[in-house]
Amino acid sequence: MIVRNLQRWWQRLTGYHVRMNAPINVIHRPEQSCFEAIVDGHRCVADYRLDGQLMHMHHTLVHPALEGRGIAAKLVEAALQWAQTQGYRVNPSCSYVRVYIQRHAQWQPLVR
């Protein structure tokens, strides 16, 4: 009930419809070295750079209007799953990625 009321308040205040339960479709774009999701018309990304068998995860970006919906977490999780299947180690130079890995112990073995 509280969440629904907050959504209505936010929509009236900003004219922006908040869709909290919309699925987040993450796409790997290896030619751009990123994982990407388009959410409500906004491009969200987790950028990386490969150096041999090391994946440097150096940047995540989610539009401020979309924050708090778990989008960055979905991007980072997809990137970490891909790194794991490729046998890469991960250098989490992005502060968000570093904290995400600290909070999710299953990804810590990937960290160089």
What does R_g of the chain's alpha carbons equal in angstroms? 16
Q: What is the pLDDT of residues 56-83, one digit of tens each?
A: 999 999 999 999 999 999 999 999 999 9
- Read off the pLDDT band of 112 (50, 70, 90): confident
- Tens of pLDDT along 16-35? 555 556 689 999 999 999 99
Strand stretches in the chain, DSSP E: 27-29, 34-39, 42-51, 54-61, 89-91
Structure tokens at 14: 């900003």
Q: Confirm if 42 and 66 have CB atoms less than 8 A apart.
A: yes
Homologous superfamily in CATH for domain 23-110: Gcn5-related N-acetyltransferase (GNAT) (3.40.630.30)
Closest of 48, 44, 45, 43 to residue 83, by C-alpha: 48
